[in-house]
Amino acid sequence: MARLIVTCAPPTSNGDLHLGHLAGPYLASDVFTRTRRLFGDDVHYISYSDDYQSYVVRKALAQQREPESVAREYGPLMGETLAKAHIKLDHFMHTLGLRDHYLEALRTFYFALRDRGALLRQRVTVPFSREHQLWGYEAFARGTCPSCGEQTDASQCEGCAMPPDLTRMRDVRCVIDGTAMEWTKVEQLFLNVEANREVLSELYGRAPFRPALRQFASALLGAPFLPWAISRPHDWGPRVPDDPAAILHTWFGGIAGYYAASREWANSQNDEGLFTKYWSDKETQLIHFVGIDCAYSHIVAYPILLAHLPVAPTVTNIVTNQFLSLHGNDFSTSRGIAIWANEFLDEIDVDAARLYLALRAPETTEQDFDLDDFRKIINEKFATALNQAIERLPHAGTGNFDAAPVSTSVGDVLQNLRQRFIDASAPATFSMNAQATLLVDLIDLMASVDPAQIRMLVSIYSVLARPIQPGFSGRLARYLGLADEWGSSWLVDGGDLPPAARSPLEGQVPSIQPVASEVISKFRSRFEAAVRAA
C-alpha cells in the first residue's frame, strides 16, 4: 500500500467552473484518487481556491467591486460546483482572509529558501500603467511571448507554458484599454532556479510525464533557467514575510496552499498527526494534476521549494492535460463562451457527465466537447444499451441463471478488461480516457453475450465504474446485492472471477435517463450567442 498526496490545480475565484475546467485536472484528480483507493492506497486529496490571483483583481476592476467581494462570491461557488460534480476532495481550502495555516505555510517555504541562500534580490525593469496605476504582471498586461511569439498575458504563456521574460516581452499593453505600458525599475525577489538544476534534472529523469510535459521538461533543461520572480509590487495578496512592502507572487504560494489545506483539514479532524503522516515523510508520493499552461510552477518551482524543507514528500508525477474546446471554440470565462458546470449538472445526470468528460478528456491532445456527440454517446450507450442489459437481469434471474459459470470466451474478455483497467490506473500510466473507453467496450459486450452471462458483466461494470461513476456504480452494486468489497480482490490480485451474488434483484432499477434534445438546444443556443457576440 502506497501513501499519496494528490493535488489539483487551485481554481481562480474570478468565476465559476466550466466543463473545460472539469475535463482537465479536476475530474482527473478525483478519478485518480478513487482509483488508487480502490487498489488499497492511502490517498490524501486536496486543493484550494486561488483567491489572490491577479485575475480576481481584474474581474473586480471590470465590475467596479472590491477583489475581496469577487473572491467571496466565487470561492465558495467553485467548492459547491466541485461537490456537485462528485469531485470529492478531503479539503478545499479558501485562501481569502489569509488565515494562520496559509500564512504559516508561506513563511515555512519562504524562510527555508532564504536561509539556504536560494533567493536573489534584483533590480529589474517592469511594465507599469501610470494612468490606471497597474503593474504589468499576470492579468494586467498582454504582449508577445519572447519564447514562442504568441500573444500572452504576463504570467504564463498559454502557447508555450513559459513564464514570459518581461524584459524581452514585446508590445506590452495594458489590458484595461490596450495602451502601451511604460517601463520602470523595481526591486524584486527571485528564486535562483539555475542553482537548483540538479533537483530538476533528477526529477525529470525519473518522472513518467505525459508527452507534452516531457517535451517541455527537456526544453527547459536544454537552456539556463531564468530566475523566477516570487514577489511583486502589487497590493492584493500575502506580504513577503520579512519585507512587508512587497507582495508574494500567487504562484509562489501554490505549494504552500496545498500544504496549508492539509494542515487545515488535519485540524478539522482534531488530529495533527494526519498532517505529518502525509507531509513529513519522503516516502509519501506527491502527485499534482494541472493544465499544461500551469505546468511551470509545478515542475520547476515547487520541487525546488520542497527540496529546501528538512523533510518533504517526494514528487513522483505531474499529470498534465491539454485544452478542451467547445464545438471548436476556446472556452472563455470572460467572454461567456462556456457551458457552466453548475448549470449543466442541474440538467444532466452527474455520472453521465463524468463519463463523457472522461471519454473526451484532453489528456495528450486537444479534444472537443460536442453537445450532439455527448447526447449520442449517453443515449446510445447508457440510456439504451446499459439500461437494456440491466432490465434483462430480473427475467434471467428467475431461472437457474445465477449458477451459470462464466463462459471461457467471456472470462477471457473480462481478464483483458481487468488488465486494461490496471494499466489505466497505475500512477505512471493513469488515464481516465482509457478507463472510460473500457466501460463503453464492456457495455458493447453486454449486447452480444448469452443472457446467462449478463449478471456477471453488469457486476463487473459496477466495480470498474467506481472511479468514474461513483454514484451509479454504487446504486448498481446495491441492486445486484453485491457487498462493498465484491470484486476487489479479483481486480487487485487477479485469479478467478468471484461468483455473482445470488440474491434476488430488489429495489429500484438503477438507470441513466436519456438526454433530451431540448436540453442540448438550450446549452447550445447560450454559448452560440456568446460566440456571436465575441
CB of 147 to Zn ion, least distance (A): 4
CB of residue 54 to Zn ion, shortest distance in Å: 18
User: Which of 204, 218, 253, 245 has its CA nearest to residue 99?
Assistant: 253
Rounded to whole angstroms, what are the CA distances from 87 to 45, 198, 399, 511, 528? 10, 36, 40, 21, 28
Among residues 148 and 309, whose Cβ is nearest to Zn ion? 148
196: DSSP letter: G
Q: State the Cα–Cα distance between residues 412 and 200, nearest whole angstrom.
A: 43
Give the CA count within 13 Å in the CB-facing half-sphere of 382: 28
Cα–Cα distance, 210 to 318 (Å, whole number): 9
Chain CA centroid to CA 398, Å: 45
* Residues found in the chain: 534
Could you tell me which residues are beta bridge partners of residue 141? 174
Q: Which stretch binds Zn ion (CB under 5 A): 12-20, 27-35, 138-146, 396-404?
A: 138-146
Nearer to Zn ion, 164 or 467 (CB): 164
Give the residue carrying C-alpha cell 484599454: 177
CB 387 within 8 A of CB 529: no
Which of residues 127 and 467 has its CB atom nearest to Zn ion in the complex? 127
Q: Report the distance separating Cα 134 and Cα 130, nearest Å.
A: 7
Closer to Zn ion by CB, 165 or 391: give it.
165
Q: In this complex, which beta carbon is closest to Zn ion, that of residue 170 or of residue 502?
A: 170
Q: Specify the stretch interacting with Zn ion by CB under 5 A; choose among 53-61, 146-154, 484-492, 505-513.
A: 146-154
Number of residues that bind Zn ion (CB under 5 A): 7
Cα distance between residue 161 and residue 297, in whole Å: 10
Nearest approach, Cβ of residue 218 and Zn ion (Å): 16
- In the bound complex, what is the minimum distance in angstroms from residue 146's beta carbon to Zn ion? 8
Cα–Cα distances in angstroms (integers) from residue 498 to residues 258, 395, 421, in the given order: 40, 22, 17
CA distance 34 to 432: 11
Return the number of the residue (38 or 162) whose C-beta is nearest Zn ion. Answer: 162
Residue 182: CB minimum distance to Zn ion, A: 23
- Smallest distance, Å, CB 73 to Zn ion? 32
Terminal Cα distance for the chain, rounded: 51
Closest CB to Zn ion among 77 and 148? 148
Binding range to Zn ion, per CB under 5 A, among 141-149, 197-205, 220-228, 368-376: 141-149
Q: Is 230 in the site for Zn ion (CB under 5 A)?
A: no
Nearer to Zn ion among residue 320 and residue 511 (C-beta)? 320
Choose the stretch contacting Zn ion; rule: CB under 5 A; options: 2-10, 38-46, 129-137, 139-147: 139-147
Which residues have a Cβ under 8 Å from the Cβ of 119 and sit 6 or more positions away? Answer: 113, 189, 190, 191, 192, 230
Q: Give the binding range for Zn ion (CB under 5 A) out of 57-65, 113-121, 123-131, 145-153.
A: 145-153
Q: How far is the CB of 338 from Zn ion (least distance, A)?
A: 24
Q: Nearest distance from residue 159's CB to Zn ion, in Å?
A: 4
Using CB under 5 A as the binding rule, whether residue 145 contacts Zn ion is answered as: yes
In whole angstroms, the minimum distance from the beta carbon of 160 to Zn ion comes to 3
Residues 6+ positions from 97 with CB-CB distance below 8 Å: none
- Specify the residue for cell string 523595481: 186
In terms of CB distance, is 144 or 488 closer to Zn ion?
Answer: 144
Binding residues for Zn ion restricted to 427-446, rule: CB under 5 A: none
Residue 400: partners with Cβ closer than 8 Å, 6 or more residues away: none
C-alpha pair distances (Å), 22 with each of 26, 145, 375: 5, 27, 18
Phi, psi dihedrals of residue 79, rounded to the nearest 5°: -60, -40
Residues between 147 and 206 with contacts to Zn ion, criterion CB under 5 A: 147-148, 150, 157, 159-160
Instruction: State the minimum distance, in angstroms, from the CB of residue 211 to Zn ion.
Output: 18
Q: Does 117 bind Zn ion (CB under 5 A)?
A: no
Beta carbon nearer to Zn ion, 219 or 403: 219
Site residues, Zn ion (CB under 5 A): 145, 147-148, 150, 157, 159-160
